[in-house]
Structure 1
Amino acid sequence: LYEQLLAHQCQKRVTVYRGQVLSIVEYKKLEKSCGSIISLNSFLSTSLNRKIAERFVRQNMHLCASGDHVVVIFEIEADPAVVRMQNGNNRRPFAQIDELSYYEEESEVLFMLGSIFQLNEIYHNQLSSSADGTVSTIRMTLCSDHDNDIKQLYDHMKNEYDREEANLLSLGDVVKNMGKFDLAEKYYRRWLSELPSNDPSLGVLYQRLGMVADAKGEYDASFEWYQKSLEMKMQTRPSDHVNIGNTHNSIGETHRKKGDRARALESYNRAVSLFKQAHNEDHLLLASFYNNIGIIYQEEKKYFEALDFYEKSLNIKKKHLPSDHPNLGSSYNNIGAVHR
């Protein structure tokens, strides 16, 4: 069948439709999965003609009477360029198979086993005849193998951490660490849209969005996210000096990158003060704060002050890190640069 699909592969972008009966549990899961990647473990039969899908919906409306099921229409956009490999073939082809299908009038398009899609949105619209009422339409887009790698990573995370559901924050963290900042922002924003406005985890999420903006060089946006994170953390966890201090340090980094050394130094010192209040004077993060203060003083050519803070940073690192750790090397380099 793969060879037949490959031989009849669609050569241009198409929009196809499929009517389907879902349990209410399945439907609710899909509602919560907008923006996510989903894969299919079977072949998927669709039609170029939406009316074919609507006819299926009308014929099966009676199954929804109990409230346990819902009839939906899948609307799928598929571009053959998305699944085309370097050799010109398609790993997971989709093809219009009128001449192979028993129902030629249905303009059937069949997707290969294992095809993957992004679930874009679910919306409600009228059937062709307004008397027939409304139907939920689930809009999806065919994705590439790159997106499948992300899907596999997501599945791996669920197994690795023994969670029933690896949330979008976790997935965003992983792709952020892979350097995929736009994708990370997408997952973070999707998670943001699902949280209530008073959720205590918003402080962490705002911090992540600030980190992504910072990595993209969007320092104004980064500063705004860090400020929101700081405000939320101070409201929900006022005694969490470590996390609040870390956010002050992040704000300081943003000021420094924007060239405002005075405000950067002010934020760094607030971070140090909070850590000392928490009796964490040897915390490894404090070494980072001291190092950042040293950078400010070095940029201002205040070398004695810079050296003092670089040495404070080094002394803390020595308590936590092995002697051959590269972070120790960076401290020695900073100290050496001041002496030069």
Structure 2
Amino acid sequence: MVSTSTTPFACIDKYSAMPGENEILFSMHTVFRVDDIKQTTANNDRRWEVHLTLTDDNDPQLIALTKRLEEEIDGKEWDRMGKLMLKMGQFNQAEELYNELLKNSSNDSDRAHVYSQLGDVKKNQGQYKEAIDFHKNSLQINRKTLTDNDPCLAISYNSIGQVYNKMGDYSRGLELYQKALHIREICLPPNHPELATSYDSIGSVYESMADYSNAISDYEKCLAIRNKSLPPNHPDVAGSYNNIAGVYEAMGDYSKALECCKKGFSIYQMALPPNHPRLAVAYACIGSVYDSLGDYPKALEYYEKDLKICQEALYPNHPDWTNCYGNLGSTYDKMGDHSNALEFYEKAIEVHKKTLSSSHPNFVACHSNIGLTYKNMGQHKKALSHYEKALKKMNECGSMTNKLELATIKNNVGSIHFLMGNFQKALEFYQEALTSREKVLSPQHFDLAASCNNCGAAYTELNELKCADDFYTKALNIYESNNVPNHPGLAASYNNIGYLYEKKGKHTKALEYYEKARQIHEVIHSNHHDVATIYDNVGTSYDRLGNDSKAVSFHENAIAIRRKALSSDHPELAASYNNL
């Protein structure tokens, strides 16, 4: 054991009264990092084995964090152990302990507290209906003895709101969060951590509804309070950075998003054990930004770290598994590995069926993702079926529908109609998606560029080339203004503009843009089927310019890639053979 700690310790196994026992004597006030907690099975007693790492007790940040955690983990001895387990992410052990405490509770006040703690346990285990029941039991008891503006009631309202938010019931969640905030504003000082919790919770609802201006406002209020009231290395400060990062990413400001993600991650690394669920969230946060930037191998690296922690720390059917599976599936799909993508999406669907309502946004996302994969595999009817399921479930959500997710699904439905040759129908869906995105997103967001590209493609096929040109130019301007020279969307823009010149009969100009697209795709994924599309387009341009040998070479390269990436009956493979 090595440490810079000035507090001494000594191995005393030679002097122990118990022969063979490896015993260590520590001085008073020795400071440890708690790595793991598990119950011993010997003699059926209530002993817990705690794995510790010795740390430097002179670190001022550690001292401040320890003091704050002591304040948060107050109460009687066994209750303090339960709170520590919750902080550590040891939810199953916490449940065992609180169930034992519930049996031994002698008064309503104790029972209300234990019900609340069990509600938090169940929320973290992903068992949301049971979580609500426990929190409502706690609220019912407290209402009998407390005034309407007691801070304990605010805790109950906020806790129940968190569970409804997890279940996708945003209107109920927001109503309860605002009740909690109203009480806290009356009873608490302006920089109290529980006020920060209220702002954080309300921000999460607005984020889920794609109301990003309100979300960022509440998240920043939360962070400001936490920076004043908590030590700088407190996990809740990291949580605020992660939340703000998520909004910046959704708004298309990826540099700010990555900066906030990394701030949060560095705090979690200092403050939490290596398999803590919140560290998994931090990995997923960073992976998501790299995904948005088109760096899929880097995204996959972080998503796999997220999955590893979930495997160690979560119940087999915990809803957070669906996020892990969905992220991995999406990345594999973008990398052209459709079989792996479908496998992860199907795993996500199975977990959803056991844990969430059929209208939950994550359930909708699963159907949408499966539809996208089938589209990429050329199975358009299956793709349309899943997209229509997703669209139906989104419409069932009514006014609390996430407008951006609805726009994405409409865009996806449009893409299938496009591939099936229904260009006018495709354009209608593309325009609806673009209109929704323009109301919510910043003018330089990549999703706006994607919508412009899609509208341009539909106009091209409808032979309205001037309209197509306008939309392609808008898309290209967005990508170029973001300074992302190897983004897949930029390659799509170059390819589309090349095709537009092809339609105009300007084959040399078409070839220039196809080559730009090819260079990007060869950097980011040289064997992806999108590269095959570019090769086919380049081959077609050379054919029309009378350069048969180069045309044949590029068409053969396209066939070679598609034979590896696609099924033998995929329409794109047939198109490549036809071109040759």
Q: TM-score, normalised by structure 1?
A: 0.50
Deviation (angstroms), 1:299:
2.1
Does 2:249 align with 1:217?
A: no
Q: Which amino acid aligns with 1:203?
A: A
Deviation string for 1:99-132 (max 9, x for gaps)? Answer: xxxxxxxxxxxxxxxxxxxxxxxxxxxxxxxxxx
> In the alignment, is residue 202 of structure 1 matched against residue 276 of structure 2?
no
Name the residue aligned to 2:60: 28
CA distance in 2, matches of 1:160, 1:167: 6
What is the aligned partner in structure 1 of residue 341 from structure 2? Answer: 264
In 2: Cα distance, 1:327 partner to 1:208 partner: 18
Is 2:269 the counterpart of 1:193? yes
Q: How many Å separate the matches in 2 of 1:318 and 1:304? A: 21
Instruction: State the alpha-carbon separation in 1 of the partners of residues 402 and 314 from structure 2.
Output: 37
- Give how far 1:156 is off: 5.4
Closer, same or farther: CA 298–29 of 1 in aligned 2, 3 Å: same
CA shift in 2, pair 1:336/1:199, >3 Å: closer
User: Relative to structure 1, is the Cα distance of residues 273 and 161 closer, same or farther in structure 2, using a 3 angstrom cutoff?
Assistant: farther
* Aligned mates of 1:185, 1:231 — CA distance in 2: 19
Give me the whole-angstrom Cα distance separating, in 2, the residues matched to 1:324 and 1:213. Answer: 23
Alignment of 1:150-165 (within 5 A): 157-159=223-225, 164=230
Give the alignment of 1:112-261 within 5 angstroms. 157-159=223-225, 164=230, 166-178=236-248, 179=253, 180-194=256-270, 195-261=272-338
Equivalent pair of 2:338/2:373 in contact (CA under 8 Å): yes
1:313 to 375, 390, 395: 390
Contact 1:241 1:277 in 2 (8 A): no
Shift of 1:295: 1.2
Contact residue 227 and residue 237 of structure 2 kept, 8 A = no
Alpha carbons of structure 1 residues 31 and 225: separation in structure 2 relative to 1, 3 Å:
farther
C-alpha separation between the residues in 1 aligned to 2:63 and 2:266?
12
SS in 2 for 1:224: helix
1:50-100 deviation per Cα after TM superposition (whole angstroms, max 9, x unaligned): xxxxxxxxxxxxxxxxxxxxxxxxxxxxxxxxxxxxxxxxxxxxxxxxxxx
C-alpha spacing 1:324/1:157, structure 2 compared with 1 (3 Å): closer
Helix, strand or coil at the partner of 2:298: helix
Distance change in 2, residues 1:320/1:254 (3 Å): same
Quick one: which amino acid aligns to residue 317 of structure 1? M
Cα distance in 2 between the residues matched to 1:169 and 1:258 = 30
Q: Distance in 2 between matches of 1:334 and 1:221?
A: 26
**Corresponding position of 2:352:** 275
After superposition, the C-alpha distances for 1:27-69 in whole angstroms (9 at most, x for unaligned) are: 7149989xxxxxxxxxxxxxxxxxxxxxxxxxxxxxxxxxxxx
1:155 offset after TM fit, Å? Answer: 6.9
- Post-superposition Cα deviations, 1:125-148, rounded to whole Å, max 9, x if no partner, equal xxxxxxxxxxxxxxxxxxxxxxxx
- Assess if the C-alpha contact under 8 Å between 1:172 and 1:183 holds in 2: no
**How many Å separate the matches in 2 of 1:208 and 1:302?**
31
Q: Secondary structure at the match of 1:241?
A: coil
Relative to its length, the structure with more strand (as a share) is: 1
Alignment length, in residue pairs?
Answer: 198
| Contact 2:238–2:264 (Cα < 8 Å) also in 1 | yes
Task: Describe the superposition over 1:169-205 as per-residue Cα deviations: whole angstroms up to 9, x where unpaired.
Answer: 3224314522213412431331243022243422222
Q: Secondary structure at the match of 2:371?
A: helix
Aligned-partner Cα distance in 1 for 2:222–2:291: 28
Decide whether aligned partners of structure 1 residues 337 and 224 sit closer, same or farther in structure 2, where only a CA change above 3 A counts: closer
Is contact 2:222-2:240 (8 Å) kept? no
- CA drift of 1:250 comes to 0.3
Cα separation, partners in 2 of 1:163 and 1:214, compared to 1, 3 Å: farther
**What residue in structure 2 maps to residue 304 of structure 1?**
381
Residue equivalent to 1:129: none
- In 2, distance between residues paired with 1:335 and 1:216? 24
RMSD, aligned α-carbons: 3.4
CA gap of 1:202–1:189, structure 2 versus 1, over 3 A, is closer
Would the aligned equivalents of 1:158 and 1:164 in 2 still touch at CA under 8 Å?
Answer: no
Q: Is the 8 A contact 1:181 1:215 kept in 2?
A: no
- Could you tell me which amino acid in structure 2 is paired with residue 249 of structure 1? G
How far is 1:293 from its partner?
A: 1.0
Aligned residue among 331, 335, 338 for 2:409:
331
Q: Any conservation in 1 of the 2:364–2:393 contact (CA below 8 Å)?
A: yes
Residues 209 and 308 (structure 1), Cα distance of their counterparts in 2 relative to 1, 3 Å cut: same
Mean Cα displacement is larger for which, 160-169 or 238-247? 160-169
Rounded Cα–Cα distance in structure 2 between residues aligned with 1:332 and 1:214: 22
Deviations 1:274-326 (A, max 9, x none): 11122533321111111111111122221110111011101111121438945
Which SS does the other structure have where 2:319 is aligned?
helix
Structure 2 residue runs of 5 or longer lacking an equivalent are 1-56, 66-215, 423-580
| Deviation for aligned residue 1:329 | 4.2
Bigger shift: residues 234-243 or 160-169: 160-169
Which amino acid is the alignment partner of residue 409 of structure 2? S
Look up the SS of the partner of 1:280 in the other structure.
coil
Between structures 1 and 2, the one with greater helix share: 2
TM-score, scaled to structure 2: 0.31
- The answer to which structure, 1 or 2, has the higher relative contact order (CA under 8 A, 6+ apart) is 1
Any unmatched runs of 5+ in structure 1? 1-24, 34-149
| Structure 2 counterpart of 1:300, one-letter code | M
Q: How many angstroms does 1:231 deviate by?
A: 2.1
- Identify the range of structure 1 (196-205 vs 261-270) with the bigger mean alpha-carbon deviation: 196-205
